[in-house]
Amino acid sequence: MVDTTACLCRVDTGLKTVAGAKRYVPGTKLCLRPDIKPSIHPTRNKPARGDRSRNQSPLLPGLPDDLAIACLIRVPRVEHRKLRQVCKRWYRLLVGNFFYSLRKSLGIAEEWIYVIKRDRDGKISWHAFDPVYQLWQPLPPVPREYSGALGFGCAVLNGCHLYLFGGKDPLKGSMRRVIFYSARTNKWHRAPDMLRRRHFFGSCVINNCLYVAGGENEGVHRSLRSAEVYDPNKNRWSFISDMSTAMVPFIGVVYDGKWFLKGLGPHQQVLSEVYQPENDSWYPIYDGMVSGWRNPSTTLNGKLYALDCKDGCKVRVYDEVTDSWSKHIDSKMHLGSSRALEAAALVPLNGKLCIIRNNMSISLVDVSKLEDLKGSSAEQLWETIAGKGQFKTLVTNLWSSLAGRNRLKSHIVHCQVLQA
């Protein structure tokens, strides 16, 4: 499961231009980036770089390697899987940090939507959507330990690594296991296990560190207070302060640098807590943001958004001045209230809000233009880019609402955005 091919990210440590990387490209193997796991970049005994360079053909015949790289980084992401299969040199280039750091610095890196679903038989599958070509792309299967897991976490680190962690195996119970998928290599890798076994917990990412808290532990069936953090630079987990009260979270969001959690306590009471990473402290919270907060929700450009109806065609905005959810963005084109049309995720995508529904239909809301409307209709801010359901008629929507509630073939459990 672990990819052992070394990368070209050494050039990222000091070089700023494509030309400056030329002498490293022919065959460098050593990875010096601290944010990349050494476990997936083992050192191998190879001939000296100069010996390898003299025997290698150019990346593109007739071009020096720096110009060849300048061409390859502009190839659309949808073709990268094919580029990696051309030859070993292209493969090493396209799985390294240097290649994708150049794409990001030039503003040509692409964001894809990754959707993890649970089928009717309980099996986990996942799908990647390319919003540029509006196509679903193939992915390697989810590793066996998560093919039927319940209550596991999902988060993105370094912009290109999708982590699955914890959860409950139907046979073995609660897990500490952590794995991650790299959008650059298109493969799954192992990461250090969590410190505690837990499922149905809360998780978030702050400053590129992964936080988990609360949840349940198989065998005791009780809520947990413990919390921990994973730092990819140090490649290890550490405990942080316990929560004020044990909780099984059902909603969470990072807003204003703090982690807000809302869930059920030991006696099934609704609890809300906020975590401040600066002083490693938890405290209860009961303000207007929490009281009117619904799932799914996310932050974009410093503002907090949440969906206000089942099909996700109405978005609410939190107003910090009035401490209330006063603003609304309504598409006026509601799809229905069936489980199949239910909005399961709200994520930022290319500076817009992205709404993903259980039937895999996807809508975008350009909130950057909200202030320019000056009271006009917000319908023009909405755009449908994928999936079923967006062109349903009123009759079809009505039938779906009546007949589709208990006939959902699958539903979304997690949704993330990866950049490459």
| Pairing outcome for strands 178-182 and 173-174 | unpaired
- The pLDDT of residue 222 is 83
**Residue 3, in any domain of the structure:** no
Task: For the chain, give the longest Cα–Cα distance.
Answer: 72
Establish if 365 belongs to a structural domain: yes
**Which pLDDT does position 46 carry in this prediction?**
52
Do 171 and 98 share a structural domain?
no
Query: How far apart are the C-alpha atoms of 384 and 397, rounded to whole Å?
Result: 16
Nearest to 212 by CA among 273, 165, 149: 165
Asked if the structure places residue 1 within a domain, the reply is no
Cis-peptide into 61, omega within 30 deg: no
Same domain membership, residue 317 and residue 242:
no
User: Quick one: 244 and 215 in the same domain?
Assistant: yes
pLDDT at 388: 52
Give Cβ neighbours of residue 301 (< 8 Å, ≥ 6 apart): 351, 367, 368
Is the CA virtual torsion 262, 308, 401, 352 positive or negative? Answer: negative
97 and 208 in a single domain? The answer is no
Residues of the chain falling short of pLDDT 70: 1-55, 219-221, 372-376, 387-408
SS3 content of the chain, % helix, strand, coil (to 5): 15, 35, 45
Q: DSSP of 79-91, one letter per residue?
A: GHHHHTTT-HHHH
Q: Do 198 and 258 reside in the same domain of the chain? A: yes
**CA dihedral (3, 71, 54, 62) positive or negative:** positive
Question: For 174, how many CA atoms within 13 A lie in the half-sphere containing its CB?
Answer: 18
Task: For residue 402, give its domain range.
Answer: 112-137+296-420
Same domain for 144 and 282?
yes
Calpha distance 46→361 (Å, rounded)? 49
Total tally of structural domains belonging to the chain? 3
Q: State the pTM of this model.
A: 0.83
pLDDT digit string, tens, across residues 394-417: 333 433 344 344 445 789 999 999
Provide the Cα torsion 247, 248, 250, 254; round to 10°: 50
pLDDT for position 90:
95
- How do residues 332-359 score in pLDDT, each as one tens digit? 888 888 889 999 999 999 999 999 999 9
**Is 161 contained in some domain?**
yes
